[in-house]
Amino acid sequence: MKKLKKIPKFKSEDEEREFWATHDSVDYFDWSKGRWMILPNLKPSLTTISLRMPNYLLDELKVLANSRDVPYQSLLKVFLAERVQKELNAFGAREGKVDYSVARMPRKRKKAGLTAQKPVKRLHKPV
């Protein structure tokens, strides 16, 4: 069996994050002794953002959210998560894990005026 290295003491989370970004955990842990755990109280970290959008789009989002009996912010997060996952899958991401070397490749730009998307049916006309 390979002798495991000792994990250094870290002064901050940033220092620890940088360490693990540049070191392989196999040198520090015996993963054959690992066990699966369920962490029911673990919540994803959230960041508050400010987003500008046309009034009609916000109104339409609120109508959709109301018809589903959910807050419009929650519905927007669901829509964004679905679209992000779809885009990542288009780049060959598997099981929610992203190969950033592929995902960061520049995309071909469409010529102005040419789109493959169907027109969106509006509930309200933009003012």
CA distances from 18 to 12, 23, 24, 103 (A): 10, 9, 12, 22
- Which amino acid, 120? V
The per-residue pLDDT string of the chain (127 residues; one tens digit each, 9 = 90 and over) reads: 678 999 999 999 999 999 999 999 989 988 888 888 888 788 878 889 999 999 999 999 999 999 999 999 999 999 999 999 888 888 764 554 544 444 444 444 444 444 444 444 555 555 5
Average pLDDT, the chain: 78
Distance CA(64)–CA(123), nearest Å, equals 10
Kindly report the pTM of this predicted structure. Answer: 0.43
What was the pLDDT predicted at 60? 96
The letter for the amino acid at 11 is: K
Asked if 15 and 9 count as a contact pair (C-beta separation under 8 A), the reply is: no
- Output the six-digit token pair for 55: 């009034």
pLDDT at 51: 92
Read off the pLDDT of residues 69-98 as tens digits, 9 standing for 90 and up.
999 999 999 999 999 988 888 876 455 454
75 burial via Cβ count (<10 Å: 0-12, 13-18, 19+)? middle
Q: What torsion do the CA atoms of 65, 71, 73, 77 make, to the nearest 10 degrees? A: -70
